Amino acid sequence: IAPSIHIDPARVIDQVDPRIYSGFTEHMGRCIYGGLYDPDNKHGLCHPKTGFRTDVMDVLKELKMPLVRYPGGNFVSSYRWQDGIGPRELRPRRPELAWLSEESNQFGTDEFIQWCREMGTEPYICFNMGTGTLEDALAWVEYCNSSANTYYANLRRKNGYEEPYNVKYWALGNEVWGPWQVGQMESQDYAKKAFQWAKALRLLDPSIKLISCGETGYADWDRVTLRKLTPVVDFHSIHIYTVSEGKHEVNVMGPAAAEKALEITRSLIDLAKIENSLSKQLTVCFDEWNVWDPVRAPGEKGAEEHYDLSDALAVAAWLNVFVRKADIVKIACIAQSVNVISPIITSPTGLFKQTTYYPLHLFSNLMLGSSLNVHVTTPSHNVNYTGPTVPKFIQDITLHTPDSTKLTRYVDVSAVLAITAESGHEIRIAIVNRSDSQEFNVPLVFGPNATVADAFTIHEVWHEDLKANNGFDGEKVKTVIKEGKFTGSYLLKKHSFQVLVFT
């Protein structure tokens, strides 16, 4: 099939929710300590009062993350939030059971909220549904959000924070289904417990948004929990990491399998609404996604992935999925945001931007507005999705999906119609060429009511070597901005990512 891209600005899927470009910071490895918080830094890189790394803040601000999830992840399932407030010298050190480390509690809820305020981002907090009780959860919401004359609201004031934090987003546990989780539960048990928690939490603060703990979006866990929790939650969370294990094609095709998972989630949500006779809005919070190979970068060792160009293309393909699914995915948090499986890596003397930083930056800055239903024809390739190295979820989905060849499409596209003060309407097209060997000359057909100027801008992420990566010694993979003259088609280099901006 010859590749082509047809774009009609009238074919709007939905508005792209900027919250799909959100982040995640967990007490894990060097994410918090030595990442965003480094009070002993000897190189002038932290704020003298707060201890926050100012270079990390500057770079994360460029990513314009509307929400940041905290404090885990697996960490939260044995976290006592009360340990992390009040005078620092009185905060207890505790054994940490998710990553088998120690938690000093020098950074806690108040520090996180201050960090969010300085970042201009909204906090999104996950409850401990492992060792934690409903009483702890209620106390946490009271501490953060209450303006009453009650114990935890007064404790916040005593700690120096007069005004309530008004934390809007709260998750009912993290990966409660996982055997690695402290306090793992069966789906029915979790659903019953989360339902009761939701009821009580809303009595305390009816304004909060609650997020149910889902699995992959297509698991039985999702079906069971959605059926019970639909009346009491606003979002259903999904976690999926794609893994390459060295195979470029599996790496870049993984997000397409996640897209199929999302289609199944949409149906499960519909089913749960029908079963509950409810027409409320309930959408997906994809609060952990990324490229992560836990063998290459084990969690217990801090999960410091070192990404190459292939991984950057996979991240771009992930983001294409979220833009195409703008009607169902309203929040997505890249996991994670500093050092741990992250687009930035710090050292005591500075930081560098990984290859994956660049597609994230392009999407969060450009791919906003109305998501367009683009028609793409493209060559595809039969990838062997079976075998010991291919992640189970990709095998599950591709082996049993009749249209699985769609998952192997080389030219992967999303597009938005954005309105800008300078140029009025802009059509922005994000294209990944997932082939590692072929370039494609792709006709771009606009219409029927769209005319575009000849001059357009190209934001390109590319390198001749698919394994090229970045480090403290320099960045081989980064965005290059060029001007183009439109003649009806665009030449896609092999293994490239670009955002084309037409006025």
Question: Which residue numbers are catalytic?
Answer: 175, 288
**Is the alpha carbon torsion for 226, 227, 231, 232 positive or negative?**
negative
Looking at beta carbons only, is 74 or 354 nearer to ligand AHR?
A: 74
Q: Helix 109-119 vs helix 134-145: angle between axes, to the nearest 10 degrees?
A: 40
Looking at beta carbons only, is 26 or 55 nearer to ligand AHR?
A: 26
Q: Within its chain, how far is the Cα of 232 from the centroid?
A: 23
CB of 25 to ligand AHR, least distance (A): 10
Looking at beta carbons only, is 9 or 173 nearer to ligand AHR?
A: 173
- Report how far residue 355's alpha carbon sits from residue 316's, in angstroms, rounded to the nearest whole number: 11
CB of 336 to ligand AHR, least distance (A): 5
Looking at beta carbons only, is 76 or 444 nearer to ligand AHR?
A: 76
CB of 74 to ligand AHR, least distance (A): 4
> Which of the residues 316 through 335 are near ligand AHR (CB under 6 A)?
335
Among 9, 72, 132, 214, binds ligand AHR (CB under 6 A): 72
Binding mask 202-241 for ligand AHR (x = CB under 6 A): -------------------------------------x--
CB of 501 to ligand AHR, least distance (A): 33
CB of 235 to ligand AHR, least distance (A): 16
Cis peptide bond upstream of 336, omega within 30: yes
Interacting span for ligand AHR (CB under 6 A) from 4-12, 72-80, 190-198, 257-265: 72-80
- Report how far residue 198's alpha carbon sits from residue 202's, in angstroms, rounded to the nearest whole number: 6
Binding mask 332-351 for ligand AHR (x = CB under 6 A): ---xx---------------
Question: Which residue sits closest to ligand AHR, CB atoms considered?
Answer: 73
The CA angle 255-457-466, to the nearest 5 degrees, is 40
Residue ranges of E strands in 243-306: 283-291
Residue ranges of E strands in 348-388: 350-353, 369-372, 375-377
> Do the strands 122-126 and 169-171 form a parallel or antiparallel pair, or are they unpaired?
parallel
CB 277 within 8 A of CB 228: no
Looking at beta carbons only, is 3 or 214 nearer to ligand AHR?
A: 214
CB 290 within 8 A of CB 241: yes
Query: HSE-up of 414 (CA within 13 Å, CB side)?
Result: 28
Looking at beta carbons only, is 146 or 336 nearer to ligand AHR?
A: 336
CB of 226 to ligand AHR, least distance (A): 19
> Do the strands 235-242 and 411-420 form a parallel or antiparallel pair, or are they unpaired?
unpaired
CB of 388 to ligand AHR, least distance (A): 21
* Residue whose structure tokens are 């960090």: 115
Looking at beta carbons only, is 212 or 336 nearer to ligand AHR?
A: 336
Q: 87: burial class by Cβ within 10 Å (0-12, 13-18, 19+)?
A: exposed
CB of 93 to ligand AHR, least distance (A): 20
Among 8, 103, 110, 175, binds ligand AHR (CB under 6 A): 175
Backbone angles phi, psi at 355, to 5 degrees: -55, -35
CB 140 within 8 A of CB 147: no
Number of residues that bind ligand AHR (CB under 6 A): 10
Interacting span for ligand AHR (CB under 6 A) from 57-65, 69-77, 430-438, 440-448: 69-77
The CA angle 15-18-22, to the nearest 5 degrees, is 145
Residue 473 in tokens: 């010694």
> Which of the residues 145 through 174 are near ligand AHR (CB under 6 A)?
174
Helix (H, G, I), strand (E, B) or coil at 402: coil
Binding mask 14-53 for ligand AHR (x = CB under 6 A): ------------x---------------------------
Residue 397 in tokens: 């989905």
> Which of the residues 251 through 270 are near ligand AHR (CB under 6 A)?
none
CB 497 within 8 A of CB 460: yes
Using CB under 6 A as the binding rule, whether residue 74 contacts ligand AHR is answered as yes
The residue ranges that bind ligand AHR (CB under 6 A) are 26, 72-74, 174-175, 239, 288, 335-336
